[in-house]
Amino acid sequence: MKVIFFNPTIKPFFKPMTGPLGLLSIASYLNSNGHDAQVFDRYYRKEKVSDYLDREKPDMIGVSVITNRFMIDALYISKLAKQRNITVIWGGPMATQIPEVILEDENVDYVSLGEGEITWLEIADAFDRNEPFSDICSLAYIENGQFVKTPERPFADLSQFPPLDWSLVDPTKYFQPYYGCNNMLYLYASKGCVGNCTFCYNAQFHHSKHRSRSYQQLADEISLLMDKYGMDGINFADDLMFCNSKQIEEFCNCLLDRDIHIVWGGNLRVGIVKDQAVFELMYKAGCRWLLIGVETGSKHIQSVISKRIPFELIERTFKMSSDAHIISIAPFMVGLPGETEDDLRDTVAVAKRLCSTICAFNYFTPIPGTVVYDKLVEEGKYTPPKDLKGYSKMFFAEHLIYNSSEVPNKDLKAIYRFFQFRALTFNDSFNVAGEKRMFKKIFVNAIKSITKHGFLNFIQSGFFGFLTLADTFLVFLHPKLRKKYGLYL
């Protein structure tokens, strides 16, 4: 079977952020099983989708829908495929969360639920044998006007999948400057997370299970990307890179034993690393940054989100990371259900206490299928969009589209802006990694990007960068709120 996997684009993300890891994994697996799979990334492929479909004449297309904002382009691509009688299958986290809504659109034939590798192989084999898809697990479709969902497929053993075939795209298009590297690429080392946070897709999508890839195979992939393409840094896209320190030791020793010298970082949970020595080993093996979710400084909100971690342990973890010269980035959320002024004051205090940290604040947005979302809908406090068009217009996390807290929007915005301002100006994280200050770094990277992504991209990104910056400085318009929450440097 011949299939083209499309990675839709979202504006205003003008330059490629990451390679389409999920699609590369599915396509590599299909090709290693004798099918013909290609990946078309709308971020950087300039060719018209209609011309490409007419030339390649695929039997089917697969479209990745990670969040709602990818849907506008996903629908555009699907419509062009349907006009040519090509079967259209959507997949990815958001597609898995709202298949009923998606299948109301006549341009989508099937939704592949959960991880896509084995489902797609079965689809491709069934297609070649001219068999129906009804026996294939983890598929949703409409039959005789009724929504059908086939039984859920068990999780795959990740070591059965081949290494990602990066020749399906141009990996250099995704290189970007990051801490201590110029050609950083996103890769993945595992899937899922052991956590059960009530706002996160993980419990539904990965059933709170963590599965690692084979580190030897991953090391092969890393060596190839370094030698052939010049990759010099890796940001691991995993929800949780390691679920215990044994895995960390195994991974670090694998890199050290094979003399792979590269800087890297990824997501970690508080409590996984308890010894300074493990952070030191990570640094020795190239780890330079870690994203360690904190979300809130309030015990009350910790119980709302089911992420009960002692605050002393949080502070100790960030301190150990800083002592090992690893930058730690602490994501927080504001606007959570029932969040009060006191909760927010606690959050601000904890965020300000963390060592050498960039605190990245986001606005809480309910994700379909999560515990918090279901509760809000049940209590009539959140009305989901009516249809696909409604979903595709929603902004996630970076804009305050919904506030389920007890405080007004302007309070949440002031806190968000303050920490953005703090990250841009007065933090010493960059000294930890021997980096330039944030402003200088952004400026240098912007100039460098002209040669890589063109002048138009520079202007567009500059414009959105300016809007963000202008929004950040609005924090000075809230003197009363700064006093109320202690928003001082």
Question: CB of 428: closest distance to ligand B12 in angstroms?
Answer: 25
343, interface contact from ligand B12, ligand SF4, none, CB < 5-8 Å by kind:
none
Cis status, amide bond into 8, omega within 30 of 0? no
Binding to ligand B12 (CB under 6 A): which residues in 346-405? 362, 367, 395-398
Read off the amino acid at residue 452: K
Cα angle value 176/181/184 (rounded, 5°): 40
Q: Are 119 and 127 in contact (CB under 8 A)?
A: no
CA nearest neighbour of 286 among 329, 243, 238, 231: 231
Beta bridge partners of 290: 266, 328
- Among residue numbers 100 through 129, which ones bind ligand B12 (CB under 6 A)? 112, 115-117, 120
List the one residue from 37, 86, 121, 237 that touches ligand B12 (CB under 6 A).
237
Candidates 16-24, 303-311, 426-434, 473-481: pick the segment binding ligand B12 (CB under 6 A): 16-24
**Residue whose token pair is 């800087």:** 263
Residues in the chain: 489
Rounded to an integer, what distance in angstroms lies between the CA atom of residue 389 and that of residue 382?
18
Partner interacting with residue 197 (select from ligand B12, ligand SF4, none; CB below 5-8 Å by kind): ligand SF4
Check binding of 193 to ligand SF4 (CB under 6 A): yes
- Minimum CB separation of residue 247 from ligand SF4 in Å reads 15
| Residue closer to ligand B12, measured from CB, 286 or 368 | 368
Amino acid (1-letter code) at residue 471? D
x-marked contacts with ligand B12 along 18-37 as a string, rule CB under 6 A: x-xxxx-xx-----------
The residue (of 60 and 414) whose beta carbon lies closer to ligand B12 is: 60
- The nearest distance, CB 253 to ligand B12, in angstroms, is 24
- Give me the 195-224 binding string for ligand SF4, x by CB under 6 A, dash otherwise: x-x--x-x----------------------
Residue bearing tokens 């150990």: 320
- DSSP conformation letters of 163-229: PP-GGGS-GGGG-EEETTEEEEEEE-SEE--S---TTSTHHHHTTT--EEPPHHHHHHHHHHIIIII
Burial 285-302 (b: 16+ CB within 10 A, else e): bbbbbbbbbbbbbbeebb
Contact 92/64 with Cβ under 8 angstroms?
yes
β partners of residue 90 = 63, 111
Residue of 269, 288, 413, 453 interacting with ligand SF4 (CB under 6 A): 269
Choose the one of ligand SF4, ligand B12, none that binds residue 116, judging by a C-beta under 5 to 8 angstroms depending on kind.
ligand B12
Stretch that binds ligand SF4, among 193-201, 317-325, 435-443, 471-479 (CB under 6 A): 193-201
Residues in touch with ligand B12 (CB under 6 A): 7, 10, 13, 17-18, 20-23, 25-26, 62-64, 66-69, 89-94, 97, 112, 115-117, 120, 186, 188, 200-201, 237-239, 362, 367, 395-398
Residues in touch with ligand SF4 (CB under 6 A): 193, 195, 197, 200, 202, 239-240, 269, 293
